[in-house]
């Protein structure tokens, strides 16, 4: 047993199954060469343990260790990795930084960025067209090489896992000429179950086909079931929980999804995270939260609404945007003071309304309130893989969230 959630009894076969499956993708889809990994996540996390340590060791690759989030950009340029295994939140941060830097470079750079994103979106939807080829060629000679240089200039692929990746974030990096592979798994399965790969056709709203040696089927209620050498032996000294999780050799993942026509897994949500409103409608909180945090005004968000008539949100404004807003409005930058200003709240409201326009009636965020500080590992409100810990956030802000239904 390791530091995994609920004391997962991990075994050598599961780890080797994962390493073999991942190495198979790298060798067949990208070529096996002198690989360089940049490790960012804690090695105590199963995803990094396997993907960032055992995999490169198995491949005879080099591993460099990042000095922290604030030095990550410079570490990337220094190390020039060929592969990076990180979590969606990090890609969201990098996307925001790149877009802000491009915005400051004038009209031409912004025009090229807009065209790159438009082409990327069409290609992601399978609507690529011949008319895009001249612009695509221009982007390959202008914008994209500059973006790739910020990642060291020799990245083969960036692998996202540990939490759902917003498809818009994946499309952004693909549009910038960087190959993005979204994987899926959990500690109970080694942890990698599937991964996107060029040979199977990369589609950003999927997590790819099952890896080599992995069987997947969908239960009647939509739950994803997994079988193979990668499945754990059980939970440490917890036979009841083990019997619930593994039935007839199939691991019940607790994730809801389906297989598309090409055998790629599409995940819609976690069973336990699904919000069921007072009318019995199911709402995916991760989808809504992902859309909110793509807005430049919003750094983090958690939505709530279980057994309630509508969704409400807890918002952490983006610090850089807030500083700039305060400067433009000639206001002193103080988080608590700004959050009390009607004009500041209206600016955040505009961001929420932009998201609401693309959501169904039951998904719309009708009211919101502010968090006192960012969700972080240090305050216990994020996991080491940068997923929000909903129960911890509710413990702290439950009364504030409930008050939104009385407004």
pTM for the model stands at 0.77
pLDDT at res. 161? 87
- Domain at 275-403, CATH from 3.40.50.300, 3.30.565.10, 3.30.300.30, 3.40.50.150: 3.30.300.30
pLDDT at res. 2? 39
* Residues lower than pLDDT 50 in the chain: 1-5
Q: At what angle do helices 107-124 and 88-103 cross, to 10 degrees?
A: 140
Beta strands in 168-237 (DSSP E): 180-185, 192-195, 214-218, 223-228, 234-235
Cα Rg for the chain, rounded, in angstroms?
22
pLDDT at res. 5? 44
Q: Do domains 8-185 and 275-403 have the same CATH topology?
A: no
pLDDT at res. 86? 87
Residue ranges per domain, the chain? 8-185, 275-403
pLDDT at res. 34? 92
DSSP letter at 166?
P
Distances (CA, A) of 217 to 57, 224, 225, 234, 258: 31, 6, 5, 20, 8
Dihedrals φ, ψ of 336, to 5°? -65, -40
Interval 183-217: pLDDT, tens = 999 999 999 999 999 999 899 889 999 999 999 99
CATH class of 8-185: alpha beta
pLDDT at res. 163? 77
Contacts of 352 (CB under 8 A, 6+ apart): 292, 295, 298, 313, 315, 365, 368
């Amino acid at each position: 047993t390791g530091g995994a959630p609920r004391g997962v009894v991990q075994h050598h076969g599961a780890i080797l199954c994962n390493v073999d499956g991942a190495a198979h993708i790298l060798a067949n889809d990208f070529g096996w060469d002198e690989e360089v990994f940049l490790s960012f996540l804690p090695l105590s996390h199963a995803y990094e343990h396997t993907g960032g340590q055992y995999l490169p060791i198995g491949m005879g690759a080099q591993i460099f260790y990042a000095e922290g989030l604030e030095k990550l950009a410079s570490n990337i340029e220094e190390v020039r990795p060929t592969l990076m295994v990180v979590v969606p939140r990090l890609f969201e941060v990098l996307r925001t930084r790149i877009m802000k830097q491009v915005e400051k470079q004038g009209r031409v750079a912004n025009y090229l960025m807009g065209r790159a994103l438009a082409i990327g979106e069409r290609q992601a939807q399978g609507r690529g067209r011949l008319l895009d080829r001249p612009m695509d060629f221009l982007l390959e000679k202008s914008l994209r090489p500059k973006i790739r240089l910020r990642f060291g200039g020799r990245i083969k692929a960036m692998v996202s896992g540990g939490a759902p990746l917003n498809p818009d974030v994946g499309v952004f990096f693909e549009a910038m000429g960087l190959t993005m592979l979204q994987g899926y798994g959990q500690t109970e399965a080694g942890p990698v179950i599937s991964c996107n790969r060029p040979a199977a056709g990369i589609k950003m709203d999927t997590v790819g086909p099952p890896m080599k040696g992995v069987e997947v089927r969908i239960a009647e209620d939509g739950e994803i079931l997994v079988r193979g050498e990668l499945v754990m032996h059980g939970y440490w000294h917890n036979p009841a929980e083990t019997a619930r999780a593994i039935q007839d050799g199939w691991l019940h993942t607790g994730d809801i999804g389906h297989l598309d026509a090409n055998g790629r897994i599409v995940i819609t949500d976690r069973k336990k995270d699904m919000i069921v409103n007072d009318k019995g409608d199911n709402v995916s909180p991760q989808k809504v939260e992902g859309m909110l945090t793509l807005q430049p005004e919003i750094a983090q968000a958690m939505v709530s609404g279980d057994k309630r008539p509508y969704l409400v949100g807890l918002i952490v404004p983006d610090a850089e945007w807030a500083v700039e807003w305060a400067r433009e409005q000639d206001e002193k930058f103080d988080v608590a003071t700004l959050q009390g200003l009607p004009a500041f709240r209206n600016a955040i409201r505009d961001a929420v309304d932009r998201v609401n326009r693309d959501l169904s009636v039951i998904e719309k965020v009708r009211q919101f309130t502010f968090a006192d500080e960012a969700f972080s590992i240090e305050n216990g409100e994020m996991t080491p893989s940068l997923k929000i810990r909903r129960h911890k956030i509710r413990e702290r802000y439950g009364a504030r969230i409930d008050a939104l239904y009385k407004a």
